[in-house]
Each structure stands twice: as structure tokens, then as C-alpha cells.
Amino acid sequence: MAKAATRDGYGSGLVKVGSNKNVVVLDAGVSDSTRTNKFQEKYPERFFNMGISEQDMVGTAAGLAKCGKIVFATSFAEFLMGRTQDHQLVSVAYSESNVKLIATHTGLAVGEDGPTAQAQNDVGMARAMPTMIVVEPADAVEAEKVVEFLVSHKGPAYVRLGRPEVETIYDDSYAFELGQATKLMDGNAAAIIASGIMVQESLKAAEMLKQENTEVAVINMSSIKPIDKEAIRQAAQTGTIIACQDHNIYGGLGSAVAEVIAAESLNCRFGIVGIKDQFAESGSQEELFKKYGMDAEAIANAVRKAVSG
């Protein structure tokens, strides 16, 4: 299958929706890396390079939104989320501005950029803001479809995108629905719920387990907030849920799934595969995932341990 990064799907999606003259794109000086340069090439009059000034970018985005524009404000996750919390909270979330905060280069998958760029708490920060939806696409096609959805969705959004190329899961017939999970594999022994690049690792883990006659369901929970509660209820019927995220084990997808399990008193074993509340080293995505227990083998081991326990 073809491979592409979710940030590539974002760039393609912007070009598609650019025919809507209300769409405006802002970037904090990293347009080549975030792929907003694709929009810039086609619609230069509606693209604004704000430079390394993320706080100014978010404030400007909110102002443009109040003038009726649909604004996509883009930067690396660590800079976009880490440097603009007050601006997001007041000018975007509290004001319910029609601003789409698009973050790339997330989690340990950033790899060689090192711990100061490996955003690992951004989902928790975004999820805690009222009015803010949170989405993490699994492949480039889904990322493109999310962009199309956001043009029609009025209100604040945080979208988490990745740097590495990943296998294509969906085709162009796929339609993203907010609050709707997608089951990619069936299985009754356990259910793996994942988002972003961890969907890829989860599918590999499921294939490993299948060779051992352990068939597990794999669910792409790209809509983290709102989350698909019914999908979690059905997953709990297997008796075991493993949530997988390229994010700190606190505050991310796993926490969101655990909240549903607790609130609804679902009877199942539960575990989280993610960054174990530590800063990582610099290295390739493959090296880091292996070292910090987040690759396909680690996911398969988490399932084996839970099922046998």
C-alpha cells in the first residue's frame, strides 16, 4: 500500500477546501514541514506566515474568525500547544472562535528532534478545554477528510498530525464523522483502541496475535473528544481493552477511554500503551518505540498479559 504522513493529507486537504474563499491558513514559519506551503502556492492571498510567533498567530486567527473566516492555524505541536495556552483558552475556546489549531510533529514519532520537541501532553491539554474538539487521524486520507469536515464544523478544534509516513488505511470513499470510531479488524479475545500512528502499530500487533490464534479487534478512535462511547461499550464485551497512544499515559486517549469505562461501570480488564510519564531520548521513531515499549511487539505483549491475567 502507498505510504504518506498525516501532515501530507493535511496539506492536500487544505488545497481541496481552498476553493471556499472564507478559508484562511496561518503558519508559524514552518510551512514546508507542516505542508501548508501547498495552500500557499495555490492561494497566496489567504496564506499568512506569522513567523516564530505562535501566540500572535493564535490571537490573529481568533480575530480573523470573528470576521467570518474559517481559520487553520498551524505549527509543531510542542510550540503551538506549549506556548499559547492562555491565548487558546480565552481567544479560541472561551470565545468559541472558529479556529482550527493544527499541530504536527507529535509524540515520540518525531524521533530525532528530541525530547523538547516530542509533544507528549498536548492531547490532555486540548481535551481539558471546554468547547474544544480533539482529533488525531490515522492516515493521510483520514487527515484530508478531517480538513474537509472542519470547514463545515463551526467552533474550536485541535487536530494532531504526525511526521512519519504511514501505511494508507482508508480509500477516498471514507467519510470522517466526529465522535465515530472505525473498527479495522474484528476479534473477540480483546480490543485495541488506538489513535494516530499507534493505529498502524496496533494493526501489526493484531496480525502477530492472529498467528497465535488470538484474534483481537482494532479500533481507530481518531475522534478523541467527543469520544465514541458505544464503540468502547462494545469493545468491553471482549473482556479486555488496551488503549494505544503516542502520548503520555496521563491525559490522552487512554485516559479518555478509562473515563468511559469507569463512568459506565464496564466490566473489563484495561491497560494503556504509551509514554510512561518520562522524557525520551533522541532517535528514530522505530528505535524510540522499541525502547519505550510502544511498538507492535509491546502492544501484543500488553494484550497477552491482560488476556492471560
Specify whether 13 is located in the same domain as 153: yes
- Over residues 55-81, the pLDDT tens digits come to 999 999 999 999 999 999 999 999 999
Flag residues of the chain having pLDDT under 70: 1
Preceding peptide of 226 cis, ω within 30°: yes
Specify whether 67 is located in the same domain as 162: yes
- Over residues 168-193, the pLDDT tens digits come to 999 999 999 999 999 999 999 999 99
SS3 state at 101:
strand
- Over residues 1-36, the pLDDT tens digits come to 589 999 999 999 999 999 999 999 999 999 999 999
133 in a structural domain: yes
Give CA separation, 176 vs 16, 141, 142, 225, 235, in Å.
Answer: 15, 10, 7, 14, 20
Catalytic annotation present for 54: yes
Distance of alpha carbon 116 from alpha carbon 109, whole angstroms: 13
Q: What is the pTM of this model?
A: 0.96
Of 41, 45, 54, 144, the active-site residue reads 54
Specify whether 140 is located in the same domain as 273: no
Instruction: Count how many domains the chain has.
Output: 2
pLDDT at 114: 87
pLDDT at 277: 96
Tell me which H or E stretch contains 72.
Answer: strand 70-76
pLDDT at 1: 57
Cell of 23: 478559508
Distance of alpha carbon 249 from alpha carbon 13, whole angstroms: 30
| Domain endpoint, select from 167, 194, 215 | 167
pLDDT at 217: 98
pLDDT at 2: 83
Q: Which domain covers residue 300, as residue numbers?
A: 182-308
